[in-house]
Structure 1
Amino acid sequence: MEYLKKTFRWFGPSFGVSLTDIKQIGVEGIVAACQDIPLGDIWPLETILALKNEIESHGLEWSVVESVNIHTSIKYGLPERDVYIQNYIQTLKNLAANNIKVVCYNFMQLIDWTRTNLDFHLPNGASALQYDPIAAAAFDLYILQRENASRSYSSEVLKIAKNYFDSLKDNERDNLRDAILAGMPGSRKLISIEDFKANHATVLNISKKELQNNLAYFLQAIIPEAEKLGLKMAIHPDDPPFSVFGVPRIASNYNELKFILDACPSPSNGLTFCSGSLGASSENDLVKIVNDFGPNIHFIHLRNVQRQDDGSFYEADHLQGSVPIEKVMKAFVQEQQRRSKSGKEVVNIPMRPDHGHVLLDDKKRQNDFYSGYSLVGRAMGLAQLTGLEKGIREGLLN
């Protein structure tokens, strides 16, 4: 039986974690993207090949693309979306020509993830990412100043959020703003508040059903092409898996994921299973999602979150938190056993430890890497997950 393929996300030569560093921690593959290509443009063959050659020169494989981002015209159903869909298809063709066959993407409308604190201090001295709904409400009400935002919150939350915001010093308000505007992995550049407001105003006028229809339109255009190319498309869940700033979610729970798979049934239409994103909601049964959608899970992100009674959560140690990570891992090992018996599917599903605490030597290079993507913290997570997988696998065999 093949193990899950151990991979690690890397953001290119300007990233504070090098391929030489990554090679030492025992991974097989790299998760990467052509970061500098403007959104919506075709990824040229030569650019893809150059990145692939750089990765392979370190004895590693480019296992997964994360992400080929989707132009907002596609998400919002604008008239020019067909042009960007054709560009997307050509990028997929260029990736397939370089034998890169797994593509992670997301359909989140504002930013790729939302956190209110990028340096949440843990009792052991490490730091993690955190989401606090009161801080998010304060941003919405007093920094974003969304029209009619108060209608989204109870009177109690409005009162607590005002008291919270009033208690913040100027630099703390700046930190809150910057934490939310930094939700684009792979870049140290913050989204401007003006761009955020403009984009936000647009998406608020689009219903959840319209967003789902726009995603279905995209899938029905690209999935047949991906299937011809032998590519596996893997959508990432919304993070967090509930509405933030009044924006609806369309990839946050079992029924929404089922809608995505049913929109264009195909072995190429699949999921990125992210235990942290889905696990931030107590309503999600992660084991059921693996069991029911297993054949269509093409990429795995494993991390843990600790949910709090006040609705906040922080990114916990990979093996400790609210996510039943042992049960999730067991479900994936059993999915691999099923695939091995069928003989028709990829058994060594690529998996990466998602995010990581800032600890030990990470603290000396904290300004070099992107939030959530420390070296030591993720390496520790990978080691923990590898040991967990080995123990579960041997337990099932004995």
Structure 2
Amino acid sequence: MNMTFRWYGRGNDTVKLEHVKQIPGVKGIVWALHDKPVGERWTEAEIKAEVDYIQSFGFHAEVVESVNIHEAIKLGNEDRDLYIENYKQTIRHLGKYGVKVICYNFMPIFDWTRSDLFKELPDGSTALFYEKDIVEGRDPQELIEIFSSYKEMTLPGWEPEKIAKIKELFQAYEGMTEEQLWENLAYFLKAILPVAEQSGIKMAIHPDDPPWSIFGLPRIMTGRSSLKKLLSISDSPSNGITFCTGSLGSNRNNDVVALAEEFAKSSPFAHVRNIRIFENGDFIETSHLTEDGSLNISGVMKVLSGNEYQGYLRPDHGRHIWGEKCRPGYGLYDRALGIMHLLGLWDAYQSLKGGK
């Protein structure tokens, strides 16, 4: 297992790499060029500058999250080939500087979706919260206002330029079916996977968050059947999954332990976090402890250990604790606690296997 930590870059993150360096066991930084407009090529000079900076702290920079996909590709319109060519060139450039995994998603318009960025938990900490009644069956403008009110740092997937043309995007997606979206994903993958193979990069699709349709938009990466369908598109070794416990686990029908057992070998990247799911379908982020949420995090780590998981793993969204002022879900303190918990589970299961 290769423990990593997601970081949003200089000037766009309250977390400093000199502080991440003090977390035992972290080998790499998960990064991206967050100031690049979606669809533009990432230049070699930009990539080299970021990789050099990350490596100067003793970390590897082998995982990028994310190279976001332009809506023209998801829509399958006449501009998609242009943006696919840009994506291919970005892959080539990233491979040249040692990147091994690119995480991406195929969610129409919206990326991860929540109704509250700082919902208070019983212990006084705050966390990302999904309130079903606010998100489902209402005007998406209400949700947009929640995300637009946060102006301190960028929120990937909620870029101002996207929000500015939200009505136009909804019109473009009118009538699109899940099958059409699958066809557009397959077109994209069949175009870029040969380039990814040549560049030594694995593409790892992130499940939809949450894994069901919102605002009438199709969502297709939602559970076991969709993960199997994704892998059936191509048997390329570069066609893979980002195994995210929190995204998949927010649907009660998804058993994250069983899914880990089935798909660990197809997942070069894993996000591990816990959530508490309420009876009405609401859910909130919690600590990584199994007992604090609804997901069997200990069971997931047991499976990964049993499979001698060699991929990259990071703690996913953390709570905001000890008065830390940080980007929603991505502070230093709780993710550091999460890393130590996950590494503790890993070490314990590894020791049991060795009879120690």
What SS does structure 1 have at the residue aligned with 2:170?
Answer: helix
What SS does structure 2 have at the residue aligned with 1:301?
Answer: strand
Larger deviation, residues 287-296 vs 305-314: 287-296
Structure 2: distance between partners of 1:349 and 1:212: 26
**More helix by percentage:** 1
Alignment of 1:174-189 (within 5 A): 177-179=145-147, 185-186=155-156
Counterpart residue number, 2:15: 17
Structure 2: distance between partners of 1:50 and 1:32: 12
* Shift of residue 185, structure 1, vs aligned partner: 3.6
1:381 is aligned to 2:338: yes
Q: Structure 1 stretches of 5 or more lacking a match?
A: 145-172, 337-346
Cα 1:188–1:316 shift into 2, 3 Å: same
Asked whether the 8 Å contact 1:280–1:313 carries over to 2, the reply is yes
* Shift of residue 184, structure 1, vs aligned partner: 7.0
TM-score normalised by L of structure 2: 0.93
Structure 2: distance between partners of 1:355 and 1:129: 8
State the superposition RMSD in angstroms. Answer: 2.1
Q: Structure 2 stretches of 5 or more lacking a match?
A: none
Structure 1: distance between partners of 2:219 and 2:59: 36
Counterpart residue number, 2:224: 254
Asked whether the 8 Å contact 2:30–2:62 carries over to 1, the reply is yes
Which of 220, 224, 227 is the aligned partner of 2:194? 224
Which of 2, 7, 10 is the aligned partner of 1:5? 2
Structure 1: 4+ residue segments shifted above 4 A = 180-184, 186-194
Please list the CA deviations of residues 289-308 of structure 1 after superposition, one character each: whole Å capped at 9, or x if unmatched: 22222221000100001110
Asked whether the 8 Å contact 1:112–1:184 carries over to 2, the reply is no
Counterpart residue number, 1:113: 112
1:98 is aligned to 2:60: no
Structure 2: distance between partners of 1:82 and 1:49: 26
Counterpart residue number, 1:327: 299
Structure 1 vs Structure 2: percent identity of aligned residues? Answer: 40
What SS does structure 1 have at the residue aligned with 2:63?
Answer: strand
Structure 1: distance between partners of 2:353 and 2:119: 38
What SS does structure 2 have at the residue aligned with 1:251?
Answer: coil
Cα 1:235–1:393 shift into 2, 3 Å: same
Counterpart residue number, 1:308: 278
Alignment: residue pair count:
349
* Shift of residue 214, structure 1, vs aligned partner: 0.2
Greater Rg, structure 1 or structure 2?
1
1:289 is aligned to 2:259: yes
Counterpart residue number, 2:40: 41
Asked whether the 8 Å contact 2:317–2:330 carries over to 1, the reply is yes
Asked whether the 8 Å contact 1:357–1:372 carries over to 2, the reply is yes
TM-score normalised by L of structure 1: 0.83
What SS does structure 1 have at the residue aligned with 2:307?
Answer: helix
Counterpart residue number, 2:321: 359
* Shift of residue 188, structure 1, vs aligned partner: 8.5
Structure 1: distance between partners of 2:118 and 2:38: 29
What SS does structure 2 have at the residue aligned with 1:360?
Answer: coil
Structure 2: distance between partners of 1:324 and 1:181: 34
Counterpart residue number, 1:212: 182
Larger deviation, residues 305-314 vs 241-250: 241-250
Asked whether the 8 Å contact 2:5–2:315 carries over to 1, the reply is yes
Asked whether the 8 Å contact 2:108–2:218 carries over to 1, the reply is no
1:395 is aligned to 2:346: no
Structure 2: distance between partners of 1:124 and 1:181: 25
1:264 is aligned to 2:234: yes
